[in-house]
Every structure is written in C-alpha cells, then in structure tokens.
Chain A
Amino acid sequence: MFDFSAIAAGFELLTSSWEPWLVVIPGLIIGLVGGALPGISGTMTMALCLPFTLYMDFLPAMLFLTSVFSGGGFGGAVPAILVNLPGTTSSVSTAFDGFPMARQGKHNEALGLGLSASCFADAFGYVLLFLLINAAASAVLALGPIELFVVALWGLTMIAALRSGSMAKGLASGAFGLLLGTIGIGPTGVMRSTLGVGSMVEGVPEIAAMMGLLATGSLFLLARSSFIVEDVDKRQVSINRAFWGAVDVFRYPGTLIRGSFIGVIIGIIPGVGSSVANLIAYGLTKQSARDPDSFGAGNPHGVVASESANSSSESGAMATLLALGIPGGGGTAVLLAAFAMHNITGGPRFISDHKEIVYAIIFSNFAQALLMLPIGLVFIWAASAIVRVRLSYLIPSVLMLSVAGTYLMSDGMAGPITLLAFSVLGFLFIRFDYSAPAAVVGLLLGSMVEGELVRSYQITGGELSRVLDRPIALVMIAALVASLVMRPFLAWVRSRRQTTA
C-alpha cells in the first residue's frame, strides 16, 4: 500500500531546502485574491500565473500553482458570502446560506466557518489521497459514461428538487438550464440556436450567465436597501468573531466529514469536480437535516457542507490528474499544462517513475491547508469590511467589475451581453420563485450530460438492460430517484399524520 522509501524521499525534497516554500504564501494570497474577484476565479488566476512557473523548477512550480489552487478554492466563498456573488462555480451553494447569514449580520462567522471547513476538508482530502492514491487510480477507471451521466443528473435534480418553494419550478429551472447548456455545437457537430453569433458556437458563455443569474439579478433587488446588513449594530468587522466562527466548524462534525468525503469522491470523477461536489454535499445535508426549510435562510450547515466539499474535491481531482493524467476541471488542466511545460507527462507512468514527487505534492498541499487558516483569517478580516460600504457605492462597483470580468473571460462583448440578459432573467427567477442555482447547474452540466448520454447510447447500443450490469450506475440511479421522490413522500407522510391527528 505504501512505498516508504518514496515517502521519505518526498519528505526530504520538501525539507532539504526552504526555497520551494518561498512561493507558497504568495501563491495562497494570489489565489485568495483571484478567487475572490468575480469573473477572475482561481482557475483564471492559475492560468495567469502559469507563464511565471516556466522559470521555476518543477517542484516549486507545482507548490506555487497548487497554493494558488488552494487559495482560489476558498477565495470564491468570500464574495459568495458577502455579496451573493460566487467567485467560482464551486462556491455556488456557499452563497445559498452564506449570504443570508451575512444579511443577518453573521458575515464574520460565515466566513470563519467557510475558511475552517475549507482548510479541514483540504487537509482531510490530502490525507485520504495519501492513503488511497494507488486504489483511486484503478477505481476511477471503472466509471463509464453511464455513471458520469447519472452523477451529473443527480447533482442537478438534488438542487432542483430539494429547494424550498415549488418543486415543479425547481425542476423546471434545472431543465431550462440544462437545455440552455445544449445551445451551440452539438455532439453531431450541428449548430443549435446560435442565432448566427460566432461566440455562441461553444455555447452560452457560462461564467457570464452564472454571474447574471446568481449575482447581478439579486443585486438589483438590493437596490432597495442602503447596506447589505441593515442593522448598524450587526455591521461589525471582527477577526475575533471570524476566528470563533472558524472554531465553530467543529460543532458540525457530521456535515464536515460528509462534505469532505463527498468532495473527494466527486473530485476524482473527471469533468465533474468541485462545481457538482458542493451541490451534492449541500443537497444531501439539506435532505438529511431535521429542519430542511431553514436551508437557504442562513443555516451554517449549508456553508460547511458546500465549502468542505469544494475544497476536498481539489484533492480528488489531483488523484485523477496524478494517477491518470486526466484533469478533473480547469484548475487541474492548468496543472497538466505546467507538467507539459516541464516536459513531464501525467498519468500512471508519472506515479511509478516520480513517486517521491507525488508524495511531496501531497505533503505540501497538506501543509498549505494548515497555512491557509491564519492567512485566510487575515484576508477575510480585510475583505469583510465590505458590509460597511453603502450599497449605492457597492452595486455599481460590483456591476462594473462583473462587466469587466465577463469581457475578459469571453474576450469580447459576448460576456457583458450575456451578463445583462441573464441578470434580467435572474431577477425574474427571484420574482417568480424559480431556482437560479438549479438553472446555473443545468447550464454548467448541459453539454456534459448530453455528451455522456450519447456515449452511453453508443456503448449500450440503446439497450437499457445493459445498465443493469453496472452496479455503481444502479446505486446512483437509486439515489437520483430518492432525491426526486423524497420530498413529495415526506409531504405525504406529514399530511397523513396531520389527518390522523
């Protein structure tokens, strides 16, 4: 199970010189800032930093990029909690309860909770990766397109079906998003609903649409208020309260461990990653809670579940990258590019030939998770001053930043135009009680779901009975059906109890 000589060699690589560590703290700070800037994201920050790593040796380059990756993982939670603007797709469900907590004046606690959940899950994920790197490499090969199709649909139905309010509208939002995600070039190479616009060939610009649906749509509603936190007494920036919020994470051990575990498992699956992990962890936490209706209104469990899952998914994605050379998402794709820049090929050969480097990367990431706690606390203290800013100043600033960010991401006007259209749609979604998060998840997963469905059809030849041969897929289908029928079933049980009482 363990190669002790490689472990010792990996440890020595990290401790024989302090030079590789010089890049870790700057990397964490750059990642935190990049992740916290809407439209920039941790992945984009990593991509921007990539050229600089050409001048570094392989190990410092990896340490630098993985520290940007770790910092970016939590950085996205800061705007999600403070202004309901997820900096990255992996922080979508952090905003569900983080922002309501901020509106209640608990922004310090929410940020502290998110930070420590992130750090704990990151460390947990890398410990698990250390223990299971060899087993994970072979397990991931067992997942085919059927499993990937089902897991993506599961993530979507979970968030659509388990929201409070109309379940039909939740599912309709998810289906609407899913179909928006099929705009552009299809699996047969046919253009669909692009209106002849070149930038639509690759589909609706996802980041701009996500920012519009989730953030700017709700920013319009904030135009009625003067501050994010209306109560003057609750508008305090306190590193002390953030610290105790961070300590508070241990009041939710079940949620923390479950989120961390889900994150690792989902992160291992290529192409799914943290965007789905945080939603599944959130959905499962809500489903198993005694008070599911309190989710979405500032329940700390929601923040812990989301942040622990998206952070630990990083280690899962690293497992796939190191073991198979397949990037699980944007961040690991940048790491793969860094591999190539240093003439190193990821995959099974990399693990067998450079096991000491693999262990060094795992140990350094564990250390980064611990370092992130004090650095992140100082960062959130600085960032949370935003609750003292008048919304009349904050709203145009965030809108302007969002427009600039979407322009950068799309390298043209497609981003800002998409942002505008989806901002109006996001506002209408809130007004008519549709689920913007479900639509976003559908949009993000649309092309993947369609691709995996087509591949599943090709593999099975259209015979549904072939699904019965795949036990993992059957378990996932059962979970999907359970998430769909659970709420109507519980409502039926409640109504029966009331009738008999």
Chain B
Amino acid sequence: MSEQTRPWLPTQPAMVIGGQRYRIDLGDIAMATAMLAFLWWHLYVTLSASTRLHNVMLIVPATCFFAILWMLIVGAAVAREEPNGKAPDLVARAPIGARIIGLMALLGVFIAAIPIAGLDLGGAIFTIACLLLLGERNLISMVLYSIGLGAFLGYVLRHGLSSQIPLIFF
C-alpha cells in the first residue's frame, strides 16, 4: 500500500481527547518546533551578548510573532479522525526515497572533500557517483562527461576567473 492511500501515516499517531480520536502530524510539529528552538537559541545568544534595546528591537518581537505562528501550525497539525480512520485535514506525504537522501549525502561528502580532492577531481568523482545513483549505466559516457565537466570547470575557475578555489590538476 502506498503512503498516499493509507488512512494515516506512521508520523501521524492517534490520540484520544474527550472520547474523540485525533491524528497528530508529528513530522509537521517536529519541523515547526525545530525552527522555533533555533530561533529561541538565537534570541538567547542575542540577549546574552547585549540586552540594549537597539540589539533586540527586531529579534524579540519577531521571535514572539514566530512563537504565535508556531501555536497555529501545531494546532493545525492535530486533526480529528473520521470513523473510517482517515484524518482528511492532514497531508499524506510520499516517502523521501533513497535517491534524495543519497543525493544529499553525496553533496555533503563532495563539499567536505573539496579541500582535499579539489573541485575538479572531487567534482568529477561526485558527478560519476550522482550519475550512478540517478540510474545511468553507460560507463563510457559517464566517465567522459564527468572528466569533461571537472576539467572545464577547473580550467574556467583557474584561468578564466583566476580564483583560488582548490584544484588538483590546474
């Protein structure tokens, strides 16, 4: 059964309040709460640095405004369950999928490796890895494209823009 056709999602557990069953979108609440937590931390750091009015003039009211919006968002993430087990006011999201998580991970590794592998060599390896992840299987075109892209970018960055970006071959 796909996520779209399920009456509820694993992130939407049920809760009984006053004899009525409610579904809770935990993912939605977690996202809003993470944002609020970050902003509270920012407010705390700002107040710790200086409590002068000029320093907090925007941050305090904007954070309080966000906190009010957080309550509205959390309120909307709790929806009454109908007798058929569905909570139509909540959004059923498709699973993220391995490709997307893999792509994020590859981007992270590529960026972390720039100081060591350079943008040319690191970029070529990153391109091959992405092509493989995204379903390409023609080895020759994958290798040629990756090397070509890395070489082109390396040449332009070093000789066209005279940048100090880390490169291995240029």
Interface members, chain B 28-67 (any A CB < 8 Å): 28, 31-32, 35, 39, 41-42, 45-46, 49-50, 52-55, 57-59, 62-63, 65-66
Is residue A382 contacting chain B, with contact meaning CB distance below 8 A?
A: no
Q: In the complex the two chains form, is B104's CB within 8 Å of A187's CB?
A: no
Contacts of B127 in A (CB 8 A): 396-397, 400
Max count, chain B CB within 10 A of own CB: residue among A171, A393, A423: A393
Q: In the complex the two chains form, is A453's CB within 8 Å of B57's CB?
A: yes
Contacts of A392 in B (CB 8 A): 130-131, 134-136
Contacts of A434 in B (CB 8 A): 31
Residue ID in chain A nearest B165 by CB atoms: A407
Contacts of B93 in A (CB 8 A): 431
Q: In the complex the two chains form, is A169's CB within 8 Å of B73's CB?
A: yes
Question: How many interface residues does chain B have, given as a range?
Answer: 35 or more
Q: In the complex the two chains form, is A391's CB within 8 Å of B134's CB?
A: yes
Least Cβ distance of A458 to chain B in Å? Answer: 8
Residue ID in chain A nearest B65 by CB atoms: A175
Is residue A420 contacting chain B, with contact meaning CB distance below 8 A?
A: yes
Q: In the complex the two chains form, is A172's CB within 8 Å of B123's CB?
A: no
Contact of A192 among B46, B100, B157 (CB under 8 A): B46
Contacts of A404 in B (CB 8 A): 119, 123, 153, 157, 165
Contact of B99 among A169, A224, A401, A428 (CB under 8 A): A224
Q: In the complex the two chains form, is B108's CB within 8 Å of A420's CB?
A: yes
The 5 closest A-B pairs by CB, nearest first: A392-B134, A396-B130, A172-B69, A168-B72, A416-B111
> B residues touching A (Cβ–Cβ < 8 Å)?
27-28, 31-32, 35, 39, 41-42, 45-46, 49-50, 52-55, 57-59, 62-63, 65-66, 69-70, 72-73, 76, 91, 93, 96-97, 99-100, 103-104, 107-108, 110-111, 114-115, 119, 123, 126-127, 130-131, 134-136, 145, 149, 153, 157, 161, 163-165
Q: A192-B49, A223-B97, A413-B115 are in contact. List 17 more A-B contacts (CB 8 A).
A: A168-B69, A179-B59, A179-B66, A186-B50, A192-B45, A392-B130, A396-B126, A396-B130, A397-B127, A399-B126, A403-B114, A417-B111, A420-B107, A420-B108, A449-B58, A450-B57, A457-B53
> A residues touching B (Cβ–Cβ < 8 Å)?
48, 166, 168-169, 171-172, 175-176, 178-179, 182-183, 186-188, 190-193, 216, 220-221, 223-224, 390-393, 395-397, 399-401, 403-404, 407-408, 411, 413, 416-417, 419-420, 423-424, 427-428, 431-434, 449-450, 453-454, 457
